[in-house]
Amino acid sequence: MKGLLLASALLSLISGQALAADAISAEPAAVHDWSGVYVGGQIGYGFGKTDAAYSLPNTPTIRGSQDYDTDGFLGGVQVGYNYQINSVVLGVEADFSGADIKGHSDEITSGLGDSYDTKVDWFGTLRARAGYAFDRTLIYGTGGLAYGSVENQYLDGPANSFSETNTKVGWTIGAGLEQAITDQWSAKVEYQYVDLRDQTIDYSANSSTTFDNTFNTVKIGMNYKF
């Protein structure tokens, strides 16, 4: 009888421990929290096509345009803040990049050797972000203000060349994917379209060339969340 009682007690103890272990193993893994302030760095590549349109208002028949490619590398830093509501992640991000995005047109007038140049030395953005988190994977869209230094030139020898350099303000829109590696570190890839608005070189009161300053960027980066 004592043996039966002892066996029953041991069976109850083992069963209780097994049920406790099952309860622990059944607990769901912690879901990643995207909320908080973060800082990081990024590198990437910029590319696009500049359209330079020449205008001579007093002579409407003398008009022309040149399309030419621009491209180059970029790198910079970013800082932002996310706020998560269930699986929706809302935030704001500012970034700044040094750049070497530039391009050179073909000869404008056959036989004269004249051409256009464009260069973006740096640019930055201030954007809203909105995305959906699949635990540690965040897919988001982004858009907002863009600004940057743009130089456009007409080159026709030292005596007949013109340039215009300004800090231009425009807009940007894009999308990205960010993957949390740990609770603090994440890696991202992001695409942006940047429009820094038109810039005009006035040669005289009667002639000018207008450049559309647009380009695309593809960036990879790392963020650290506090």
DSSP H or E run through 22 = helix 2-25
pTM of the shown model: 0.82
> What does the alpha-carbon distance between residue 224 and residue 79 come to, in Å, rounded to a whole number?
9
Tokens of 96: 């700044």
Q: What mean pLDDT comes out for the span 47-58?
A: 85
> What does the alpha-carbon distance between residue 86 and residue 51 come to, in Å, rounded to a whole number?
45
Q: What mean pLDDT comes out for the span 132-160?
A: 93
The CATH number of 31-225 is 2.40.160.20
pLDDT at position 46 is 98
Nearest of 195, 143, 139 to residue 169 by alpha carbon: 195
Tokens of 179: 């993957």
Domain ranges of the chain: 1-30, 31-225
pLDDT at residue 113 is higher than 80: no
pLDDT at position 58 is 58
Q: What percent of the chain has pLDDT over 90?
A: 68
Q: What mean pLDDT comes out for the span 149-156?
A: 92
Tens of pLDDT, residues 163-216? 999 999 999 999 999 999 999 999 999 999 999 999 999 887 778 899 999 999
Confidence class of residue 10 from pLDDT cuts 50, 70 and 90? very low
